[in-house]
Structure 1
Amino acid sequence: MTDTEVPRPATGQLLALAAAARPDWSPGQLQDVVGQLRCREDMSFGRLVVAVAQLIADPKAEPPDLLAAIPEAWRQRRRPQAPETAHRGAAAARAALHPTTESDCS
């Protein structure tokens, strides 16, 4: 077994775990949601396991919440702003809070 084969997708077992842990959920509904997520290119099986585990742990969660919890792909590809952007913003906020009073009537 090579490193590229781990973790192996085990969707059936994941659905069985969810069914055992959350008998209040409709198995068909969870299966539909998981099927939709497995078709996305940006959704690895590892990410799916984590997302389903978090959903199982939330007593108020429902299977459709899984679709809402996955951010859009374009949000994940955004580069963070450079540190100087925050420094400029902080300087602007300080200047707005503490304006210097210069008079033209010296």
Structure 2
Amino acid sequence: MSEVPQPATVQLLALAAAARPDWSPGLLGDVVAQLRCRDDWSFGRLVVAVAQLIADPEAEPPDLLASVGEPWRHRRRPPGPETAHRGAAAVRAALSQPPTT
């Protein structure tokens, strides 16, 4: 039994070249090669990301790398609700200060 979907990187790059002739040749290929080396990027995820990039008229291939999260962020615990409460209290206190002249 074979893996489905089969990676078809060459065809994906050909589609991108046909759909986005404004991109410099090879730039998307370099970006895709970097993403294919990552364990957390499946071919399916890559297809979706490239399709979204193609559909955005303002997008450039390096934008795909910008969307990749840093692995260390996944290990960090998100801040607790008390962080937002402290920040809101600090803003309220700053706003209630009389203006200095």
TM-score over 0.5 for the alignment? yes
Matched, 1:75 2:73: yes
Runs of at least 5 residues in structure 2 that lack an aligned partner in the other structure = 81-101
What is the TM-score with the length of structure 2 in the denominator?
0.71
| Aligned mates of 2:51, 2:75 — CA distance in 1 | 25
Structure 1 contact 55–66 (Cα < 8 Å) conserved: yes
2:38 equivalent among 31, 37, 40: 40
* Structure 1 residues 1-106: aligned runs within 5 Å: 1-2=1-2, 5-76=3-74
What is the TM-score with the length of structure 1 in the denominator?
0.68
Structure index of larger Rg: 1
Q: How many correspondences in the alignment?
A: 97
Runs of at least 5 residues in structure 1 that lack an aligned partner in the other structure = 83-106
Structure 1 contact 21–56 (Cα < 8 Å) conserved: yes
- What percentage of residue pairs aligned between the two structures are identical? 80
1:80 Cα shift? 6.8
